[in-house]
Every structure is written in structure tokens, then in C-alpha cells.
Structure 1
Amino acid sequence: MDIIEIIGNLVLGGLLGLVGGIFGIGGGLIAIPALGIFFGLDQQLAQGTALVMVVPNVLMSCWRYYQRNKINWRHALLLASFSFALAWVGAKIAVGLDNQQMRSIFVVFLVVLSVWTFIQLRLSRSEGQDHVTQPWYALAGLGSFSGFVGGLFGVGGAVVATPILTLFFGLTQVLAQGLSLSLAIPSTSVTLFTYAIHDQINWTMGIPLAIGGILTVSYGVKIAHAMPQRLLRKLFAGFLLVSAVLLFNS
């Protein structure tokens, strides 16, 4: 890899880190189709390479969200522990599945979440509550489901958990994103390890992406907290639709 390619990957990582910080997802949803479309990586290799960037982005974003929101760590640990266990199962399944089948299912899932988010915005004027009222087993179920899906598709559980926390748990967008990031830390880490031992990572691309993302993710978190909640939720729903289109065409 020459210096131009390294700089290009650093810049791309910076853009993905900024978006990941704004939406609290680590940037993997954009990185995966980008690596497939522009760099010709197959689905599993794109997912594994994106995770090299996603893991440090998630760690940095979670810390920044915690500084601003004071995440309830009992809830975070509950989500994270169940996410960790099921992410490994999802990742093990992913390395042996057909690429297009995985992608098609996830595209449909993203479209459904996006449409439902828009519907919720039309029906409710509330920006959400700032604490969780559901019982522990609801969080355990969310952690398990999000971890499994995140491991299966290599995107971490945050993209799954965030809309569920806003739609069904009634949380504000920024609090949902912060909690989702705490869930994503163990799930993305174990997923990265699983992809690595199956040789599904391009490290020479992934490391510059990770460095670029670390440099910008904090700015994304700052932007997220400066936005009106409803606007952030609209942008998040639109982001899900764009990601679905990119994945469908990659």
C-alpha cells in the first residue's frame, strides 16, 4: 500500500468516525458498503476490516457520551454482558453463510427500523425520557438480540439497539445512542476476534481507517449533543435508509 492509499484511508476513516460519533454506531454501516463498492472486498472481508475501525471508535464514542450523559452503568453492563455472549454466536454463523442472504436480510431490517422511526416522529411530539423504566429482562433480551445481529453482520449492536431504545423504551436519542455504544463494546470486540481468527480482515486498510476515525469521532459526539433531539432522530432514520440502499447496491 503506497502513501496515497494510506492517506485516502485515513481521510475515509475520519469521515466515518465523524458520522459514527454523530449517530453512536462506530461507522461500520457506511464502511462495509464503501469497502465493498470502492475497494472490491467481499462481504465477510469488508465486515472484518470495518471492525478494525469500529472497535476503537465505539470505545471513544462511549466515553464521550458518558461524559455528557452519565450513562447508568448497571443498565450498560446488563446490555453488554448479554450482547457479548450472543455476538460470538452471530459472528461464528456469519463466517459460514452466503454473503447475499445476510445482506438482503439486514437491508430489510434497516428499512423497517427507518420507516418505523419516521412513523413515530409523526405520531409523537415527545423527545423521549432520560431514564429506563423497563424491567431487567427487557434489557437482557435487547442485549441478546442486538449482540447476535451485530455479530452476524459485523456492525456492532448499536445500530440495532438505538432505534429499539427510542421506539420501544422511549429514551431520548442521545441517551439511547450512549447506552447502545456500551452494548457494542463487547459485541464488536468479540466479533473482531472471530473474524480475525478466520482471516477475514485486511489489516493494512483497517488500521489507517481506525486512526482516522479516532481523530474525528469526538467531534461527531459533540455535534450530536448540539442538535435538537427530533432532528437527530430524523437524520438517524434517514441514515438507516441510506445505509440500506448502499448495502443493497454493494
Structure 2
Amino acid sequence: MTVTTILILIIIGLSAGILSGLVGVGGGIIMVPLFVLFLGLTQHNAQGLSLAVMLPPVTFLAVYNYHTAGTGGNIDWRIAIMVSILFIIGGFIGSKVALQIDQRMLRKIFGVFMLIVAIRLIFTK
């Protein structure tokens, strides 16, 4: 690994981590485009790597901080468990579908999704 690659990974990791901790999102939204643009990964590789990278920090650090903050009741564990189970199923199905889609089309789908989310966040009260 070159020094440049290490520096890019440091920037990607810190940016995604800070944004994720700050607003609750960031992993895929930050990492996937940066992996593709600056490391030259394919869309499939970038999405898979993003999912693999997010598992430990989200599971251990962010959840711990939100659970212990203030009164310790910032997480409704019943909802978290139900959504987690469905997220696992959805993630399995989504990754199978994504691997069947052409790289260029998948990148366009990802870009359109990010645009829609950005527009809704900007213009919704």
C-alpha cells in the first residue's frame, strides 16, 4: 500500500466516521463514492467494502455512545432488534440483486438515490 493510498484511507475513514457519528449516516454515502473515485474500486467492490467497514464501528462505538448518553434511553431495543433482523434479510437480498446489475448502472442508481435523499433533506421542513 502506498503512502498516498494510506492518506486517502485515513481521510475516507475519518470523514465517514465523523459524519456518521454526527448525523447518523455517512458510511455508504461518503465511503462508496470516495472508494470509487480515489481508489479506483468498482461499484460492487466499493459497496461491499463499505458494508464490511461499517460493521464494527457502528455496532460497538456508536450504539454504545447513544445508549449511554444522557438517561441511557436513546435506543428502543425492541425496534432495533426487529429492524436489525429485517435489515439482515434486506441486505442479503439487496447484495444479491446488486451483484447482478452492471457496474455503470449500479453507480447511476446509487447516484440518483443520493440525489433524491439530498433534495428531500434540503427542501423538507
Contact in 1 for aligned 2:15/2:30 (Cα 8 Å): no
In the alignment, is residue 115 of structure 1 matched against residue 119 of structure 2? yes
After TM superposition, list the pairs within 5 Å mapping 1:1-250 onto structure 2.
1-2=1-2, 5-59=5-59, 60-68=61-69, 69-121=73-125
SS in 2 for 1:87: helix
Count of aligned positions: 121
Whole-Å separation in 2 of the counterparts to 1:88 and 1:81: 11
- The change in CA–CA distance for 1:119 and 1:67 in structure 2 (over 3 A counts) is same
- State the distance in 1 between where 2:2 and 2:110 align: 34
1:41 counterpart letter in structure 2 = L
TM-score normalised to structure 2 length = 0.80
Highest RCO, 1 vs 2 (Cα 8 Å, sep ≥ 6): 1
Matched AA of 2:65: R
Distance 2:19 2:120 in 1: 22
* C-alpha displacement of 1:16: 2.0
Quote the offset at 1:38 in angstroms. Answer: 1.1
Q: Report the alpha carbon displacement of residue 33 of structure 1 after superposing the two structures with TM.
A: 0.9
- TM-score (norm. length: structure 1): 0.43
Which ranges of structure 2 fall in alignment gaps of 5 or more residues?
none
- 1:77 Cα shift? 1.1
Question: How many percent of aligned residue pairs carry the same amino acid?
Answer: 29
Q: What does the per-residue CA deviation read over 1:78-127, in whole Å, with 9 as the maximum and x for residues that have no partner?
A: 11111111210111111221122222223223322332333322xxxxxx
- Check the 8 A contact 1:26/1:58 in 2, yes or no: no
Cα distance in structure 2, aligned partners of 1:44 and 1:16: 19
